Amino acid sequence: MNQPLPPAALNSLRSGPSDRGRFGEFGGRFVAETLMPIVLAVEQAYAEAKKDPQFQADLAWHLTHYVGRPSPLWFAERLTKRLGGAKVYFKRDELNHTGSHKANNCMGQILLARRMGKTRIIAETGAGQHGVATATMCALFGLPCTVYMGATDVERQAPNVFRMKLLGAEVKAVTSGAGTLKDAMNEAMRDWVANVEDTFYIIGTVAGPHPYPMMVRDFQSVIGEEAKVQMQAAEGRLPDVAVACIGGGSNAMGLFHPFLDDTSVRLIGVEAGGHGIETGQHAASLTGGRPGVLHGNRTYLLQDEDGQIIEAHSISAGLDYPGIGPEHSWLHDIGRVEYVSATDNEALDAFQLCTQTEGIIPALEPAHALAYVTKLAPTLDKDQIILMNLCGRGDKDIFTVAAHLGVKL
Partner 1 sequence: MSRIAARFAALKADGRGGLIPFLEAWDPDGATSMALLRGMPAAGADLIEIGMPFTDPMADGPIIQAAARRGLIAGVKVRFILDMVREFRKDDQATPIILMGYLNPILSYGPQKFCEDAGQAGVDGMIIVDLPTEEADLMLPHATANGIDFIRLVAPTTDDVRLPHVLNGSSGFVYYVSITGITGTRSASSADLAAAIPRIRKVTDLPIAIGFGVRTPAQAAEASKVADAAVVASALIETMAAHLDEDGKAKPGTVELVLAQVRALADGVRGR
Q: List contacts with partner 1 (CB under 8 A).
A: 20, 28-38, 176-177, 182, 186, 189-190, 193-197, 292-296, 301, 303, 305-309
State the DSSP code for 392. Answer: B
**Least separation in angstroms between CB 71 and partner 1:** 35
**Least separation in angstroms between CB 283 and partner 1:** 16
Q: b/e string for 297-310 if b means 16 or more Cβ within 10 A?
A: bbbbbbbeeeeebb
3-class DSSP state of 245: strand
Nearer to partner 1, 199 or 230 (CB): 199
Nearer to partner 1, 91 or 182 (CB): 182
Looking at this protein, which amino acid is placed at residue 87?
Answer: K
3-class DSSP state of 389: strand
**Least separation in angstroms between CB 21 and partner 1:** 9
State the DSSP code for 64. Answer: I
> Quick one: which of 355, 206, 362, 371 has its CA closest to 273?
371
**Least separation in angstroms between CB 403 and partner 1:** 29
CB 256 within 8 A of CB 101: no
Nearer to partner 1, 39 or 133 (CB): 39
> Quick one: which of 365, 349, 368, 346 has its CA closest to 357?
349
What is the distance of C-alpha 58 from the center of its chain?
23
Nearer to partner 1, 15 or 176 (CB): 176
**Least separation in angstroms between CB 185 and partner 1:** 9
Going from the C-alpha of 373 to that of each of 149, 224, 370, the distances in angstroms are 30, 18, 5
Nearer to partner 1, 194 or 407 (CB): 194
Nearer to partner 1, 26 or 90 (CB): 26
Nearer to partner 1, 299 or 316 (CB): 299
Neighbours of 150 (CB within 10 A): 29
**Least separation in angstroms between CB 36 and partner 1:** 5
- Going 184 to 186 to 188 to 194, the CA torsion angle's sign is negative
**Least separation in angstroms between CB 297 and partner 1:** 10
What does the longest C-alpha to C-alpha distance in the chain come to? 72
CA–CA gap between residue 135 and residue 107 (Å, rounded): 11
